[in-house]
């Protein structure tokens, strides 16, 4: 079965500092991978998705970037964090089940001060 690991689980960073959130997937190969952000009390906003190594699609213009250096590794980065980057970041993988739902990691909570 698929498993998604995200780290760190919680992060507090000053404005202007860099960011790196990592996501790794087990139990599947060549998955579609996704980064979503959830602002406090809000829905999920799709930030990036990737259909393969080195292939990144950005959904919204922003201060963040994503990379996929390996088949089952997805990284979310920023060179200089903004206050508005605070939120709950969720990595997801497209399930291989019949229903094709997205399978989510545990999330990374980022607070920018």
Partner 1 sequence: AQKITQTQPGMFVQEKEAVTLDCTYDTSDPSYGLFWYKQPSSGEMIFLIYQGSYDQQNATEGRYSLNFQKARKSANLVISASQLGDSAMYFCALEGPSGGSNYKLTFGKGTLLTVNP
First to last CA, the chain: 38
Quick check: 104 binds partner 1 (CB under 8 A)? Answer: yes
C-alpha–C-alpha distance, residues 53 and 107, integer Å:
22
Give me 17's structure tokens.
């500092």
Q: CA angle, corner 30, sides to 25 and 72, nearest 5?
A: 30
> In this chain, which of 17, 18, 42, 60 binds partner 1, going by CB under 8 A?
42
Q: Does 103 bind partner 1 (CB under 8 A)?
A: yes
What CA–CA distance (Å, rounded) separates 27 from 39?
Answer: 29
Which of 44, 58, 65, 67 binds partner 1 (CB under 8 A)? It is: 44
Rounded CA-CA distance 22/3 in Å is: 14
Q: Is 56 in the site for partner 1 (CB under 8 A)?
A: no
Span interacting with partner 1, options 20-28, 64-72, 75-83, 94-102, rule CB under 8 A: 94-102
State which of positions 1-40 bind partner 1 (CB under 8 A).
32, 34, 36
Residues at the interface with partner 1 (CB under 8 A): 32, 34, 36, 42-46, 49, 51, 57, 59, 88, 90, 92, 94-95, 99-104, 106-107, 109
């Amino acid at each position: 079965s698929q498993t998604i690991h995200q780290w760190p689980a919680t992060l507090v960073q000053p404005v202007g500092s860099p960011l790196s959130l990592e996501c790794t997937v087990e139990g599947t190969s060549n998955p579609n991978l996704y980064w979503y952000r959830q602002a406090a009390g809000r829905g999920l906003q799709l930030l990036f998705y990737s259909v393969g190594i080195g292939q990144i699609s950005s959904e919204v213009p922003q201060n963040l970037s994503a990379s996929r250096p390996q088949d089952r590794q997805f990284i979310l980065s920023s060179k200089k964090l903004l206050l508005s980057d605070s939120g709950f970041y969720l990595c997801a993988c497209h399930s291989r089940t019949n229903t094709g739902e997205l399978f989510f990691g545990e999330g990374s909570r980022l607070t920018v001060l």
